[in-house]
Amino acid sequence: MTIMEAIQNRRSIRNYKSTPVEKEKLEKILEAGRLAPSARNVQAWKFIMVTDPETISKLAPACCGQSSVAQAPAFLAVCTNEPSVMACGQPARTIDGAIAMSFMILEAEELGLGTCWIGAFYNDQVKEVLGIPEEFDVVAVTPIGYAAEEPSARPRKGTDDVVRWEKF
């Protein structure tokens, strides 16, 4: 599978099979995050992979009660503690964490696994369940598992609507 095929095929999965995910696949996903670029190459992140069903069940309420979280056999949290703001005005922690999560969900797709980037979660509750130190923020989370559904592609705006050449 090419990167473009992974991008085209990836869907947000909200129903998972109970089949456990092989540790080797989870390690490959984590390796994709480790290799992601970061501002000034600081790599100020921690990736927490959770496979314990009891812990995962505690994460569902922390993710605004999303049942797909409790269904999945694995859960990934991306945390960063980089305090700097980039020259463009964006917080490095948010950008770095988002890049790493993007790399990891594309690797999951290549490995035949489903994910759903969850933005609806309570940072403090996820931190409490996972024992994340105060100085870290949870940037992104996703359940990971074998899809129990095949959602169709969501509509995308056309190239003319989103692309500009040279100037806006």
Q: What is the pLDDT of residue 148?
A: 98
Letter string b/e over residues 70-102, b meaning 16 or more CB atoms within 10 A of that residue's CB: bbbbbbbbbbbebeeeeeeeebbbbbbbbbbbb
> Domain tally for the chain?
1
Q: What is the pLDDT of residue 44?
A: 96
**Domain extent for 66:** 3-147
* pLDDT tens-digit map of 129-155: 999 999 999 999 999 999 999 999 999
In a domain, 152, yes or no: no
CATH assignment at residue 70: 3.40.109.10
pTM of structure: 0.95
Q: What is the pLDDT of residue 7?
A: 96
